């Protein structure tokens, strides 16, 4: 898979299942920043944010109802993770409307995700690739675009450990693709 160089030099790349156990296992270390996207027309939140909403007794849903979390394209909302989650902070990225989310908008969203991680400089991050929970972008191009955005960023990407949360079929495709590229 292209972009593997982005995680050389002692950096770790991993995957976790998109379920409550996967969320809990990915948040065992301290200092984690969790990043995921939200569509305007997705209520309650789904995917990784849906799991976070469940673990926080509907906190994200209440923020959506209050209008403080909208999902408008370009929105960036920083929330504390503690004490409700072991994560230090949660970043919600607005993805716009699901029906108009396509590969060019995905590329823009993943560049925003990388900008956020470069700016916050967490040691560890757990992310959901924008729109993957809704199946609006295929797994291999999604991960390829992520690595390309990391490599193209003008500032150094200093995340030591990056975990991508997705379903097992996506993880299998990534592993198969990585094996073909070696």
| Residue entry with tokens 């990534």 | 174
- pLDDT score recorded for residue 11: 80
CA pair distance 47, 3, nearest whole angstrom: 25
DSSP structural state of residue 125: E
Q: How far apart are the first and last CA of the chain?
A: 8
- Is the Cβ–Cβ distance between 142 and 135 less than 8 Å? no
On whether the pTM is more than 0.85, the answer is yes
Tokens of 63: 């923020």
Phi and psi, residue 44, nearest 5°: -65, 170
Region 87-91 average pLDDT: 96
Residues 6 or more apart from 181 whose CB is under 8 A from it? 1, 2, 4
How far is residue 51's CA from residue 53's CA, in Å, rounded to a whole number?
A: 5
Q: How many helices (H) and strands (E) does the chain have?
A: 6, 6
> Rounded to an integer, what distance in angstroms lies between the CA atom of residue 23 and that of residue 16?
7
CATH architecture of residue range(s) 4-181: 3-Layer(aba) Sandwich (3.40)
How far apart, in whole angstroms, are the C-alpha atoms of residue 100 and residue 142? 17
Q: Note the pLDDT tens digit of each residue in 127-162.
A: 999 999 999 999 999 999 999 999 999 999 999 999
Q: What is the pLDDT of residues 111-125, one digit of tens each?
A: 999 999 999 999 999
| Model confidence band, residue 179 (pLDDT cutoffs 50, 70, 90) | low
The span from the CA of 163 to the CA of 16, in Å, is: 7
């Amino acid at each position: 898979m292209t972009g593997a160089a982005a995680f050389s030099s002692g950096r770790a790349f991993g995957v976790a299942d998109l379920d409550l156990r996967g969320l809990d296992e990915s948040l065992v270390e301290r200092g984690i920043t969790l990043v995921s996207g939200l569509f305007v027309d997705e209520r309650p939140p789904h995917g990784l944010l849906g799991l976070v909403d469940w673990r926080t007794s509907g906190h994200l849903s209440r923020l959506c109802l209050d209008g403080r979390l909208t999902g408008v394209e370009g929105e960036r909302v920083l929330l504390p993770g503690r004490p409700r989650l072991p994560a230090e902070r949660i970043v919600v990225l607005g993805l716009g409307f699901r029906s108009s989310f396509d590969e060019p908008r995905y590329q823009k969203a993943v560049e925003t995700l990388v900008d956020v991680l470069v700016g916050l400089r967490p040691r560890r991050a757990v992310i959901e690739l924008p729109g993957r929970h809704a199946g609006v972008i295929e797994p291999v191009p999604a991960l390829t675009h992520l690595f390309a955005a990391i490599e193209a960023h003008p500032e150094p990407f200093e995340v030591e450990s990056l975990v991508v949360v997705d379903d097992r079929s996506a993880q299998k495709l990534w592993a198969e693709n990585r094996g073909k590229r070696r």
